[in-house]
Structure 1
Amino acid sequence: MNLFYTPEIEFHHSSFLLSEEESKHAIRVLRLSAGSIIHLVDGRGGMYKTEIIEAHPKRTSLRVIHVEENYTLSPYHLHIAVAPTKNIDRLEWFLEKATEIGLQEFTPIICAHSERKEVKTERLEKVAIAAMKQSLKAYLPKINPAISFAKFIDSQQQDVQSIKAIAHCVDSDKKYITNSFSKGENYLILIGPEGDFSEQEIQYALQAGYTPLSLGAARLRTETAALASVLEISLLNR
């Protein structure tokens, strides 16, 4: 299936014009021609089956044959807030795999022990788009700009619908996702930096109603812990 990301398309469109970049990819790279069938996704759950009417490398025109709404709609909403890794490739790796498995929202949080203080969301969005297309999904995760830990906690105070949890390494009574969480919910999980959350951050989250979360006995890297959370939520909702 040839899949293209076209966020500008709407459900009511009967025809559509590919951007110059996507036209070049379709005609020059994939060597598609008039009559070829391609599929478009809008990142909001729309899957569009289309036919190439005019195969032009700068402005390929399409006829919309069929539209499917809520394509690959998830029965839950997962928001992962992660302290960005020093090596940005590791954070991109997490986002790629999480998008493939099932992630609806992502926020980089800057913590006291964070090794990286800045994150370029433009690059992360490109990684997520590629992963969405690779996994034949029609929903693009929402990628929020980086925010400090305290400001993030404060910004989520009005969200009373989500199950909120913080995965930290301090010895304490903690809960496992599969034993304590319910299916079909909204989840918000905090994953700290390599040096873990500070004691003040942990207490701040607990006072805000976050459940201490265990991901097992092994000490995991930041991106591994984040991906393990995504996978456990996915398995919980099967």
Structure 2
Amino acid sequence: MELPVFYAKALMPGEDTYTMDEATSKYCIQVLRREKGQPVLLTNGRGQQFTAAILDDNRKKCMVQVSGHTTVPPPAPALRIAISFTKNASRIEWFLEKATEIGVQSIIPLLTRRTEKEKFKTERLENILVAAMLQSQQSWLPELAAPLTFEALVQESAVPQQFIAHCQPEQKTPLQQAMQPGRDTLILIGPEGDFTPEEISLALERGFQPVSLGNTRLRTETAGVVACVLMNAVNG
């Protein structure tokens, strides 16, 4: 039986004990019914996974004895996705969950001319990322970057492979054919209503390659998940 994994944001190698926060303690003790002496796993979301045993099964302040740790190297190459958040919060939350499970390293909320959702509850979204990381048994928490304007991103980005997925009727290469495995990659996913022609032109001027995600028109969050799947598949 696999051991449950818990998020321990502040835990670092070399520490002998760690006290879980109240929400994690409640889940561990009250929901999963773990007891004193039982083993657990913890991760700080930065590549370290810790083996431990419960010292104090307090449901508000569960304390564990750390017995060792292993370090998981960061995923390589790095896959980044910049996506315009949708007005419907549940759709972008669904995307964040799936992107984390698939294995994306960085998610950038993209502010475009047609973006309708520019503000969001960061803490809630980070909790979704943590839950998805634990569910998929990973040790690296994706970075949820600060929102960035389209213009700033395309002008500042220096990622080796840069793509823009848009719906304009011009020549585009399927992503899985345009992308080379083993190289850090960034893809831009537009808002409901797509990027403006001016934004597309600016991206192309800055070296972004236009790509297609298939033959059907996709919702923003669906396009994001498809892009994550294809990027991951190219890298095997």
* Separation (CA, whole Å) in 1 of partners of 2:119 and 2:91: 15
RMSD across aligned C-alpha pairs, in angstroms?
1.5
Mapped contact 1:163–1:185 kept (Cα < 8 A)? yes
Identity between Structure 1 and Structure 2 (%): 36
The aligned runs of 1:1-238 (5 Å cut-off) are 1-70=3-72, 73-156=74-157, 159=158, 161-238=159-236
Task: Output the CA distance in 1 between the equivalents of 2:20 and 2:167.
Answer: 49
- Report deviation, 1:171: 1.7
Whether the 8 Å CA contact 1:81–1:109 is kept in 2: the answer is yes
1:3 CA drift (Å): 1.3
Equivalent-residue separation in structure 2 for 1:99 and 1:171 (angstroms): 31
Secondary structure of residue in 2 paired with 1:75? coil
Aligned residues: 234
Q: Quote the Cα distance in structure 1 between the aligned partners of 2:116 and 2:5.
A: 37
State the 1:155 CA deviation. 3.2
Deviation at 1:35, TM superposition (A): 1.1
- Deviations 1:8-28 (CA, angstroms, capped at 9, x unpaired): 001122322222332232222
CA distance, structure 2, for counterparts of residue 60 and residue 112 of structure 1:
47
User: Normalising by the residue count of structure 1, what TM-score does the alignment of the two structures yield?
Assistant: 0.93
Q: 1:102 to 1:202 in 2, by over 3 A?
A: same
- Contact kept, 8 Å, 1:37 with 1:49, in 2: the verdict is yes
For residues 83 and 130 of structure 1, what CA distance do their matches in structure 2 show?
22
TM-score under structure 2 length normalisation: 0.93
SS at match of 1:43: coil
